[in-house]
Amino acid sequence: MTGMLESFNSPSICAFDLDDTLVNSPLDRKRMSREIETLVRKRIGLPEKKEDRWSRPEILSDVRSAAPALEAELLKILRDIERQAMLKAVLIPNAKEAVEELRHRGLQIGVMHK
């Protein structure tokens, strides 16, 4: 049992979320939702929602069920908007140094992005 606890005390991997952790980007999530909502309304319709807007996960879930062929087009819209934002992304101060230090200490680094 001691060996198992020791492994928890010395991690071998560190995972970061990309946006707002390692980089700042002008990713416009509202634009993403607006654009895919508009396309879905035109193509297959979308029930009215009383509060605010449909979220991206809600729209994608409905599309997967009702019109799976449309999903690829929606994902392309999302990727295009993300790529535009990444072209303007800037490293958060000390992010590079922090990652380098963790690597120097032997940790594997993972970076996730939704």
My answer on whether 47 and 59 are in the same domain is yes
Q: Give the DSSP per-residue string, 32-81.
A: HHHHHHHHHHHHT-----SSS---HHHHHHHHHHH-HHHHHHHHHHHHHH
CA pair distance 39, 20, nearest whole angstrom: 28
My answer on whether 44 and 83 are in the same domain is yes
How would you write the pLDDT of the chain (114 residues) with one tens digit per residue?
445 445 556 778 899 988 888 999 999 988 998 898 888 888 887 666 656 666 777 788 878 877 888 889 999 999 999 999 999 999 999 999 999 999 999 999 999 876
Please check whether residue 63 is in contact with residue 70, taking contact to mean a CB–CB distance below 8 angstroms: yes
My answer on whether 71 and 94 are in the same domain is no
My answer on whether 77 and 56 are in the same domain is yes
Classified as helix, coil or strand, 13 is: strand
My answer on whether 73 and 44 are in the same domain is yes
pLDDT, residue 1, reads 43
